[in-house]
Amino acid sequence: MTADFELLMPGGSFEKVRYALAYGADAVYVGVPRYSLRARENEFFDIDLVQETVNYVHKQGKKVYLTCNIYAHNNKIKGFMEAMKEMMDCKPDAFIMTDPGLIAETKEHFPEAVIHLSTQANNTNWAQVKFWKNYGVQRVILARELTVQEIKEIHEQVPDIELEAFVHGSICMAYSGRCLLSNYLSYRDANQGTCSHSCRWGFKVYANDDRERYDSQGHFDDVVTNYVPLEGDFYLEEKERKGEFMSIDEDEYGTYIMNSKDLCAVDYLKDLIDAGVISFKVEGRNKTEYYASIVARAYRKALDKLKTGANLTEADRREILDELSSTANRGFIPGFYARNAKAKAQELEKDTCIQTHLYGAKLVNYDPKSQVAELEIKNRMDKGDILTFISPNQQFDFSLEEAYYKAHPDYIPEDKNANQIKATEHLHGGGENAFIKMPVALKDGYEHGIIRMVYKEAISLKQRTDSSSNVISV
């Protein structure tokens, strides 16, 4: 078992990169302008920010990989090669690429470039991996459709190439992300970096023989059933496209344009290490810094334990899974690592995320003398809520009591005055920053502090306030 494997986290923005590294990532991958398959979620809009990020990562003693994994049309080749010159000047540790033509052009014009072959290249067998190794690719990011045994065989046949595998995050419902659904429904090409995630939209299923009821009622009756063989024609109606009906087929393994549950391979980390994987990759460049922090911390704990040669105990496993469940997810499956999950890969009962906690706030400033923290509010928090403060070196629960806008009676920023202070019992996401007094002194690392709260159903202010006692009740 090697001790040189890495935890590779997504970096959708400079801020998310900072948090991922602070909570345990060994490396991050970031998109580049125009040429990443997450172009719409990518916040790296210019090469100067890419350069700043590379410099920051290297200063932390970590690695950064630039993702430029589109399948290019003719009109993008010239621009890509011009951009590659700028990207080479940034001195990243590697480029994640897919298109064989662009790889060939890059190798010709920039022979010193280190290339990691993207999972988009459908890396499913040892002969293919051997081909790319002989072509000069340093690492292959394996297809998500492989079992552990298949990965082990690839490593045995081609032992002198690095293998990377996804271990956590959303899974595209299409084979290695080759989705046409986004193109069909919203004219956005997934392989050009503009996927609209159509598989995650809300759909209803209607039976064709309900057409008469639709004509009379203005809507179909929903079909709700455990799987039994279906006869006749069925149609989908997307919630934002009323009256547009798309025919759909289904078999005992599921309805294939519905979104998959999320990958979570905690139980297979040791098997993957033994199979030859050296880089453990998390998906989620469009997720929050809370997601980046919690997921990095959870997998860091697991990998550090495995590095010692010990196995994860049931207590370790439960703690890690509880942490991962506190982030947005659609339910967890181990992907294809054990076998084809078939119908279990799809969540058919719920159309919302499954999670135990919400991202409450991000700490943006802290005054050690007064212990007052300035918070950027992410989700609504109310007086009396039990919150958890988390930083790389500290975690504790506390009750939200006094909260203020503009400043705090014990801490007034230079550009504010005491007359501007406004007390509040309700903090709302998307508004101005709030100030609260922390119950204990914050330790080093507080600059990457986050606050979470137990997930709760949205309830009106009227329901949450007992007007007679002015006490918040849940």
> Counting beta carbons within 10 angstroms of the beta carbon of residue 313, is it exposed (0 to 12), middle (13 to 18) or buried (19 or more)?
exposed
Structure tokens belonging to residue 363 = 């700490």
> Counting beta carbons within 10 angstroms of the beta carbon of residue 379, is it exposed (0 to 12), middle (13 to 18) or buried (19 or more)?
buried
Candidates 405, 263, 245, 248; CA nearest to 344 is 263
Strands (E), 308-356: 332-333
| Whether 375 contacts 455, CB under 8 Å | no
pLDDT of residue 451: 98
What pTM was computed for the model? Answer: 0.83
Residues near 49 by Cβ (< 8 Å), separated by ≥ 6? Answer: 14
Q: d(Cα 363, Cα 378) in Å, to the nearest integer?
A: 11
Task: Find where tokens 């809370």 sit.
Answer: 290
Structure tokens belonging to residue 58 = 């290297």
Candidates 118, 29, 26, 22; CA nearest to 449 is 22
Candidates 131, 399, 172; CA nearest to 283 is 172
| Whether 138 contacts 114, CB under 8 Å | yes
C-alpha dist (Å) from residue 7 to 67, 264, 302, 352, 415: 16, 14, 10, 28, 42
User: What's the distance, Cα to Cα, between the start and end of the chain in Å?
Assistant: 50
> Counting beta carbons within 10 angstroms of the beta carbon of residue 395, is it exposed (0 to 12), middle (13 to 18) or buried (19 or more)?
exposed
Report, in angstroms and rounded to the nearest whole number, the Rg of the chain calculated over CA atoms. 25
pLDDT of residue 226: 43
H/E run at residue 115: strand 115-117
296-344 pLDDT, tens digit each: 999 999 999 999 999 999 999 999 999 999 998 888 889 889 876 554 5
Question: In this structure, is the dihedral angle defined by the CA atoms of residues 425, 427, 428 and 430, taken in order, positive or negative?
Answer: positive
Beta-carbon neighbour count of residue 58 at 10 Å?
14
**Can you tell me whether residue 251 is helix, strand or coil?**
strand
Q: What does each of the 474 residues of the chain score in pLDDT, given as a tens digit?
A: 344 789 999 998 999 999 999 999 999 999 887 776 654 556 777 899 999 999 999 999 999 999 998 889 999 999 999 999 999 999 999 999 999 999 999 999 999 999 999 998 999 999 999 999 999 999 999 999 899 999 999 999 999 999 999 999 988 766 666 677 777 777 776 665 567 777 767 666 666 554 454 455 554 444 433 445 556 677 777 777 788 877 666 555 555 556 678 899 999 999 999 999 999 999 988 899 999 999 999 999 999 999 999 999 999 999 999 999 999 888 888 988 987 655 455 444 454 457 899 999 999 999 999 999 999 999 999 999 999 999 999 999 999 999 999 999 999 998 899 999 999 999 998 889 999 999 999 999 999 999 999 987 643 333 333 333 332 222
| Whether 257 contacts 419, CB under 8 Å | no
H/E run at residue 96: strand 94-97
Residue 454: phi and psi, rounded to 5, are -65, 135
